Amino acid sequence: MKALSVRQPWAWAIIYALKDVENRGWPINYRGDILIHAAKTCTKKAYFEAKEFCQDMGVVIPELISLRRGQIIGIVTIVDCQFSPIASGWGMADQYHWHLENPREITPIPYIGQLGIFEVPDNLVREATSV
């Protein structure tokens, strides 16, 4: 199954806080389910910047120490992708907005992330989603 690494706390926000836009500098033609991998790295500075942004959106995120990292934490459906020159809601200006729906938590899967879209063996996904 296809997967995407997202830094925390953004990965958490996609699965648990209904963040319905993923901002990327490149478009995606793929539509359908994709695994959300919480990247292993997250600086304190990036975390606090994201925390402030989330608070402005009315979302309280967990403390950095409690966020899962280096694991696949859920599945979301990519339904559209559009470039936007302006910021709106979760969407940042001058980025491609990957529109997301139907976030689902799964049993976390320890996994090494990669840049771009990558494949995760189906048998690992079946085990995590059958619980």
pLDDT tens per residue across span 106-131: 999 999 988 899 999 888 887 777 64
CA distances (Å), origin 36, targets 14, 84, 102: 8, 23, 12
Whether residue 68 contacts residue 13, with contact meaning beta carbons closer than 8 Å, is answered with no
pLDDT value of residue 70 = 94
Surface-to-core class of residue 14, CB atoms within 10 Å of its CB (0-12 exposed, 13-18 middle, 19+ buried): buried
Whether residue 75 contacts residue 35, with contact meaning beta carbons closer than 8 Å, is answered with yes
> What is the DSSP code (8-state) at residue 25?
S
pLDDT in tens, 47-99: 999 999 999 888 999 999 899 999 999 999 999 999 999 988 889 999 999 99
3-state helix, strand, coil in the chain (%, to 5): 25, 40, 35
> What is the DSSP code (8-state) at residue 70?
S
- Domains of the chain, start order: 2-129 (2.30.130.30)
pLDDT value of residue 34 = 97
What is the pairing mode between strands 71-84 and 95-110? Answer: antiparallel
Over residues 9-38, the mean pLDDT reads 95
pTM higher than 0.85: yes
Q: What's the Rg (C-alpha) of the chain?
A: 14
Dist. CA 97–CA 56, nearest whole Å: 19
pLDDT value of residue 96 = 96
pLDDT in tens, 4-15: 999 999 999 999
